[in-house]
Amino acid sequence: MNNILTAALEKNKKKYIKNLINLIKCDTHDIDHGLNGGLEKNGQEYLEKLFNNMGASDIVREPLTEEVITKCRQKYHEGNPAHDYKDRYNLYAQFKGGSGKTLLFNGHIDTMPVGNKNAWRYDPFQGTINDNKIYGVGACDMKAGLMASIMAVELIKDAGFTLPGTVKITSVCDEEGGGNGSIIAAASGQKADAVIVCEPTNYELIAAHMGWIFFKVEFEGIAVHSGLKNKGINAIEKAIKIIEAVNELEHSWLLKYKHPLLPPPSGNIGMISGGEAGSTVPDYCCFQTCVHYQPGMTYEQVAAEYTNAIMIRSAGDEWLKDHKPKISIYQTGSPFEMDLTHPLVGSFQNAYQKAMHHPAKIVGSPAGCDSRSWHNIAKCPTLQYGPGRLEQCHSVNEYVEINQYLDAIKIYANLILDWCS
């Protein structure tokens, strides 16, 4: 069977590559991480035509709405509010076959903006081929993965096989803005017997990723001339004391939490601002952090421990005990972990072995992705696998290697035939 798939892949690879290039040519970037909208409609319209030409059924457009995001924030601590959803919608399609199990492939249609177009070697919207690579914005992150899942259905048909079950494709919006598209899809009832998130993994199988919480911590002080420093309160110095406290918390997590696939929990001070001039004691300072945490830890636990570390240190400071820092949380995402004894893992390994002639390496990811929504909200067995390298995501001269793209098509096709049977 795999030999037949391989032969069909070789015969039809120009068609599969052309469809990816056509999708890269569609400008689908988020604007200000989705806050001011996105151009995903350009790509969704192309995919809808492709689905119709391939004989898909139950093609559905689902608009993104603030109402669903509000509910998910309350119930799951997931979702990013106040995004502009004009002309933005998820696109779902089904390819029905026999009475076997269902398999859902998930991919996001949105990309990051191009940035400085002059810095690109090739036009970022042309899908230029050079040195066995396809260049273009979104080529790796993640139009190659999304198109590979669709072309896997096409490959099965081109090889003369019948789908043993139903394959679902969810092309979602606003992933680069925090994952609202998949959150809405999962919350609205999209699901299957198993889910593959097609983000780039560079031939590795991702079975876990970290969760995250973004904190903003603000401090007030008293502004005076720097020559009268002892009569003022330096807000930056107060912030430094609290940074020391949260760094100590990170160290305690390092000693306490171990995971076979993931790094220890950590907190990154990614931004600090305050003050106006060296000659003035600053009366305001704030820092922003991203805290990554492991499966098994909860949002409530991490938020409480981080807040407590700040407040305990503040209680020991003459100023901060009465002028407590203001703590706010502005983005969150849950961790994800797949049970490695689940039949989906074995089925994927069977498919990968047939296609690549060696087992897939199972790893975890320090970065989060939409796997969490399908596993935690839709309650589906979920794995992450897709063509491309993480280093290419959000980069100038982004590319995907053609061999990785074609290999993903073959792996996905084998998985459909194995799992759905």
CATH of the domain at 102: 3.40.630.10
Give me the pLDDT at residue 15, please.
98
Give me the pLDDT at residue 390, please.
87
Q: Are residues 128 and 147 in the same domain?
A: yes
Residue 29, domain extent: 2-209+336-419
Q: Are residues 91 and 196 in the same domain?
A: yes
Tokens matching residue 145: 């993965």
Q: Are residues 18 and 137 in the same domain?
A: yes
Spans of the chain below 50 pLDDT:
none
Last residue of a domain, one of 293, 311, 333: 333
Give me the pLDDT at residue 81, please.
94
340, 341, 343, 349 alpha-carbon torsion, rounded to 10°: 50
Q: Are residues 197 and 84 in the same domain?
A: yes
Task: Count Cβ atoms below 10 Å from residue 65 Cβ, excluding itself.
Answer: 14
Is 0.85 surpassed by the pTM of this model? yes
Give me the pLDDT at residue 263, please.
96
Q: Are residues 280 and 328 in the same domain?
A: yes
Q: Are residues 81 and 186 in the same domain?
A: yes
Q: Are residues 174 and 311 in the same domain?
A: no
Give me the pLDDT at residue 2, please.
76
Q: Are residues 276 and 370 in the same domain?
A: no
Last residue of a domain, one of 289, 309, 333: 333
Give me the pLDDT at residue 1, please.
78
Q: Are residues 101 and 237 in the same domain?
A: no
Q: Are residues 317 and 345 in the same domain?
A: no
Q: Are residues 352 and 254 in the same domain?
A: no
Give me the pLDDT at residue 204, please.
98
Q: Are residues 147 and 161 in the same domain?
A: yes
* Per-residue exposure over 20-52, b if at least 16 CB sit within 10 Å of its own CB, e if not: bbbbbbbbbbbeebbbebbbbbbbbebbbebbe
Contact residues for 150 (Cβ-Cβ < 8 A; gap 6+): 19, 47, 50, 51, 54, 105, 169
Number of domains in the chain: 2
Give me the pLDDT at residue 134, please.
98
Residue type for 96, please? K
Last residue of a domain, one of 333, 359, 389: 333
